[in-house]
Amino acid sequence: MTLISISDIDKAHSKIEQRITRTPLITNESINSLTNAKVYFKLENLQQTGSFKIRGASHKISLLSEEQKDKGVVAYSSGNHGQAVACASSDHHINATIVMPKNAPKIKLENTKSYGAQIIQYDPLKENREKIGLDIAAKSNKTLIKPYDDLDIICGQGTVGKEIAEQLQDENITPDIYLCCCGGGGLIAGSSFYLKNKFSNIKNYSVEPEGFNDTQLSLQKKRIIPNATSSHSICDALLAPQPGKISFAINKLTLEGGLVVSDLEVKKTIKEIAESLKLMTEPGGAVAAAAVLSKKIDIEGKTIVVMLSGGNIDYDFFLKIIKENYE
Amino acid sequence: MTLISISDIDKAHSKIEQRITRTPLITNESINSLTNAKVYFKLENLQQTGSFKIRGASHKISLLSEEQKDKGVVAYSSGNHGQAVACASSDHHINATIVMPKNAPKIKLENTKSYGAQIIQYDPLKENREKIGLDIAAKSNKTLIKPYDDLDIICGQGTVGKEIAEQLQDENITPDIYLCCCGGGGLIAGSSFYLKNKFSNIKNYSVEPEGFNDTQLSLQKKRIIPNATSSHSICDALLAPQPGKISFAINKLTLEGGLVVSDLEVKKTIKEIAESLKLMTEPGGAVAAAAVLSKKIDIEGKTIVVMLSGGNIDYDFFLKIIKENYE
């Protein structure tokens, strides 16, 4: 079964390319010598709204009918998807309602508000965000903009894979490995699919935080496995309860397997990226880099593409992380 | 009198391009709407060693004779040039001695040490770094690698202008204005010269911190004017006492004039860049952006290239800046 094609992603890209930033793909000597590998970072933390999510959201919203646009949209999100939907809605003068957890990073809450969206906060320990979102959509005839389990969203996120492929081809680089964070699996589905098509020998791996390794387990069992318990992780962007149906249907065909990193490994990585690359990354955005720096797979001498997916981290938390001594 | 040519910079670029990062040139919607302009940031804070200085240092050191290499090099620097000379020396297995002020940012001291250089610290209020550097060079037959007043250094720094020109041409963009930080004037000399040659209508401006506006004054008077008093500024990278002779000879031909920003404007800018671009910049690296955000010249509707020249800022200070409320 073919759910998406390269041309779907190419089309999505031509729809949104004026709206998004073609983010840099950079390598850094300190990181390369630390890892004995050639590591290329895709800087989606420099993307508009501070994460890749604007790609999918602006693609999806650009496809709505005039009637749907009049009624408005609703989204549930730990923050980055919410910001992106709010921002893309504001572009199209659409009303947006965003359902966000009470404990979302302040920076994500404030940014979402700044785009004029209505925010509804919920308690993630007691309430189900999907249900709240669906209820609002049903009552008000608003269109629900899902965070990942939607082909239009996946094709939108996949445009980052197109950019990576072009940036690598411009430099005559053939990648061995692609590492990408994975929450519900939309970003990795679109981007890995694109890269696998352009570089047939590439090995794609999902990277998840400890306790939220539902995609790793699902890939092992070849069926969707939810996270066993409600663990805790600092990676607020990657806490989806289980892989999306559509995203997993793609991922099970294009991924080699899944990797897992600890909160401590993520913190060390945020510090290393600040030191070597002068970049602010959020925990969920740094897991793929953490897998490289913690050498979760054999990367010796290899060419690796690492997704840095977002930079929306509260300043206090960022400082706490970069000031800590992890020796 | 023609001191440098485009082909000198092109040659320097082909000598060092394997050593340096072709840093991104990016634009950002939040900044563009804040300024009502189209602003392109050249991200030299993502450069190897965290600033543009590796361009000039690696060019200069690549030109040394075997005998000079055997004897080693000495440099005086508030930090970024020192790091760069230490790093380029380590590439060529050359002994490097770096004269640094006692109050240099810790991150710059530590990075310089990490490349294996010998550090000599001095008291900037009582001692003259140039004299210390010259004494060491004379006594030990080491080659002094000047920070800016040297044609090979200027051509090395000028390679960033070549990259900017190519990156703009790739996107069919014609810039109206180029804003670049200015200490001794080496970076702006090489890069403005290149840009003026490629885009004849571009207006190049130096940006300096308050109290250290020697280039602004020198441009006004058409001769070298030193800074009147020993002021204080957070922009540790830009505290040269007066323009370099060679750098000023170039700058007086290619610059429209000089702009000045306050420490407060620089702090607000560092915070804005962290918020909008997720980038860590050091004070001296952010002055050109500060001139844009504080609208020191008419930028309405214009296309502006802004140099972000470095990111080596101590974490405590970075956090203090981004946590402050400047409303």
pLDDT in tens, B222-263: 999 999 866 889 999 998 889 999 999 999 999 999 999 999
The domain boundary residue, chosen from A144, A162, A191? A144
Are B195 and B244 within one domain?
yes
- Which residues in chain B have Cβ-Cβ distances shorter than 8 Å to A46? 24, 26, 28, 277-279
How far is the C-alpha of B186 from the C-alpha of A302, rounded, in Å? 38
- B325 near A CB under 8 A: no
Is B26 close to A48, i.e. CB distance below 8 A?
no
Q: Which of A114, A278, A280 to mutate against chain B (most B CBs within 10 Å)? A: A278
> Which H or E run includes B165?
helix B151-170
Are A304 and A206 within one domain?
yes
How far is the C-alpha of A39 from the C-alpha of A281, rounded, in Å? 16
- Res A315: pLDDT: 85
ipTM of model: 0.82
- Res B96: pLDDT: 96
Are B68 and B100 within one domain?
yes
- A32 near B CB under 8 A: no
How far is the C-alpha of B46 from the C-alpha of A47, rounded, in Å? 16
- Which residues in chain B have Cβ-Cβ distances shorter than 8 Å to A279? 46, 278-280
- A255 near B CB under 8 A: no
- B204 near A CB under 8 A: no
**Residue B77 pLDDT more than 70?**
yes
pLDDT tier at B178, thresholds 50, 70, 90: very high
- A116 near B CB under 8 A: no
Instruction: Provide the residue type at B203 as one letter.
Output: K
Are A225 and A113 within one domain?
no
pLDDT tier at B1, thresholds 50, 70, 90: low
Q: Provide the strand spans (E) within chain B.
A: 25-27, 38-43, 73-76, 96-101, 118-122, 143-144, 177-181, 203-209, 255-261, 303-308
> Structural domain of residue B191, as residue ranges?
6-51+151-323
Within a domain: A82? yes
Structurally, chain A folds into a number of domains equal to 2
Are A156 and A230 within one domain?
yes
The domain boundary residue, chosen from A106, A129, A144? A144
Q: Residue A46: which of B278, B316, B319 has the nearest Cβ?
A: B278
Within a domain: A191? yes
The domain boundary residue, chosen from A123, A144, A165? A144
Between vectors from CA B34 to CA B321 and to CA B325, what angle results, nearest 5°?
A: 25
> Average pLDDT for residues A309-323, to the nearest whole number?
91
Within a domain: A231? yes
Are A69 and A109 within one domain?
yes
Within a domain: B230? yes
**Residue A251 pLDDT more than 90?**
yes
- B29 near A CB under 8 A: yes
Give the chain A residue nearest B19 (alpha carbons): A29
Within a domain: A1? no
Are A44 and A169 within one domain?
yes
Encoded tokens for B102: 């006692």
Is A278 close to B50, i.e. CB distance below 8 A?
yes
CB under 8 Å to A239, separation ≥6 — which residues?
Answer: A78, A183, A209, A212, A233
CATH of the domain at A281: 3.40.50.1100
How far is the C-alpha of B284 from the C-alpha of B182, rounded, in Å? 9
Are B189 and B99 within one domain?
no
Per-residue DSSP letters for A15-31? HHTTTS----EEE-HHH
- Res A325: pLDDT: 84
Within a domain: B262? yes
The percentage of chain A sitting over the pLDDT mark of 90, rounded to a whole number, equals 84
Within a domain: A92? yes
Are B114 and B239 within one domain?
no
Q: Which of B31, B278, B320 to mutate against chain A (most A CBs within 10 Å)? A: B278
Distances from the Cα of B236 to the Cα of A53, B140, B232, angstroms: 38, 29, 9
Give the chain B residue nearest A91 (alpha carbons): B29
CB under 8 Å to B315, separation ≥6 — which residues?
Answer: A274, A319, A322, A323, B107
Are B155 and B39 within one domain?
yes
Are B259 and B280 within one domain?
yes
**pTM, to two decimals:** 0.89
- Which residues in chain A have Cβ-Cβ distances shorter than 8 Å to B27? 21
Are A79 and A15 within one domain?
no
- B191 near A CB under 8 A: no
Within a domain: B1? no
